[in-house]
């Protein structure tokens, strides 16, 4: 029987890429990079076979979708932030078997889901690629990328998909890590001033709520967080509607989950958004 051995909420800010480069921002995201490196080391220590990533940079309009194509390699430039993230090479391999099993479990549970493993031209988004880069993962661990930004879906559906992911993991023979790849609050400032906000939050209100959420996670107050999740996602512009986070808690057991999260990278603002790296103990 397969096993979920790691679960986390992670950042994918493209400014980590410029943090690597020579120039005025060299080292600016060292803390975020170090947090992801620690999570990557955990994956290796726990002998993870496959990493599943709910990617809030993959927008879908109808149904839930999975990218598990065998060859995930290439060179990536962000269409949103080409001045931050360009010509980033990557080399990963997908896990068609687990991707298809997730799709089958989800569909059977009433959440229509398709796994795409024969479409070579289906691109991998940077919500998947950036965390893997700084975790130090290449083709040594397989990857399944799941769309984490639904145009018109309820968070309840993403919760059900998270439950199906756990079901599929346990039906498999894999040791699996799950990453919810997305920010907390996600209000990017207006274009005229966004350049001044690389290290600032867009609204103090968003930061206050983000920090309250992290405190709830650390205290294991999951029911309190789930009660506020729909309004939090809306009022603080949660990235991708926070479907990745709904999948994460569905996977962990939703209101039955009693784990206390551990912060791997302290909260930080980035281009107006709220970011963190947080690991949730698997119970």
249 touches 222 (CB < 8 A): yes
Tens digit of each residue's pLDDT (9 = 90 or more) over 112-121? 999 999 999 9
| pLDDT tens for each residue of 132-176 | 999 999 999 999 999 999 988 999 999 999 999 999 999 999 999
Rounded Cα gap, residues 272 and 186, in angstroms:
7
Q: How confident is the model over 77-112, as pLDDT tens digits?
A: 999 999 999 999 999 999 999 999 999 999 999 999
DSSP 114-162: EEE-S-TT-PPPHHHHHHHHHHT-STTSEEEEEEEEETT--HHHHHHHH
- The conformation of residue 112, written as its DSSP 8-state character, comes to -
pLDDT, tens only, 183-232:
999 999 999 999 999 999 999 999 999 999 999 999 999 999 999 999 99
**pLDDT computed for residue 9 by the predictor:** 98
* The pLDDT of residue 3: 98
Domains (ranges, CATH) in the chain?
Answer: 3-280 (3.40.830.10)
Torsion-angle region of residue 19: left (phi > 0), alpha (psi -120 to 50) or beta? alpha
Buried b (16+ CB within 10 A) or exposed e, 237-267: bbbbbbbbbbbbbbbbbbeebebebeebbeb
Q: What is the percentage of the chain residues whose pLDDT exceeds 70? A: 100
């Amino acid at each position: 029987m397969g096993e979920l051995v790691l679960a986390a909420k992670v950042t994918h800010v493209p400014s980590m890429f410029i943090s690597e480069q020579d120039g005025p921002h060299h080292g600016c995201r060292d803390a975020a990079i170090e947090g992801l490196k620690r999570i990557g080391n955990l994956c290796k220590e726990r002998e993870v076979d496959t990493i599943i990533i709910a990617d809030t940079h993959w927008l879908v309009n109808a149904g839930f979708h999975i990218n598990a194509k065998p060859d995930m390699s290439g060179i990536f430039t962000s269409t949103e932030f080409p001045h931050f993230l360009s010509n980033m090479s990557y080399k990963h391999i997908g896990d068609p078997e687990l991707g298809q099993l997730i799709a089958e479990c989800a569909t059977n549970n009433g959440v229509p889901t398709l796994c795409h493993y024969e479409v070579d031209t289906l691109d991998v988004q940077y919500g998947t690629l950036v965390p893997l880069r700084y975790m130090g993962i290449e083709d040594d661990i397989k990857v399944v990328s799941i769309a984490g930004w639904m145009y018109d879906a309820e968070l309840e559906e993403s919760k059900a998909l998270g439950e199906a992911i756990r079901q599929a993991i346990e039906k498999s023979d894999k040791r699996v890590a799950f990453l919810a790849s997305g920010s907390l609050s996600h209000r990017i400032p207006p274009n005229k001033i966004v350049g001044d906000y690389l290290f600032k939050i867009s609204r103090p209100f968003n930061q206050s709520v983000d920090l309250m959420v992290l405190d709830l996670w650390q205290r294991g107050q999951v029911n309190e967080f789930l009660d506020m999740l729909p309004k939090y996602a809306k009022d603080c512009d949660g990235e991708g509607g926070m479907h990745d986070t709904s999948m994460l808690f569905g996977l962990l057991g939703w209101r039955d989950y009693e784990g206390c999260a551990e912060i791997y990278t302290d909260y930080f603002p980035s281009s107006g958004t709220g970011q963190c790296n947080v690991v949730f103990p698997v119970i």
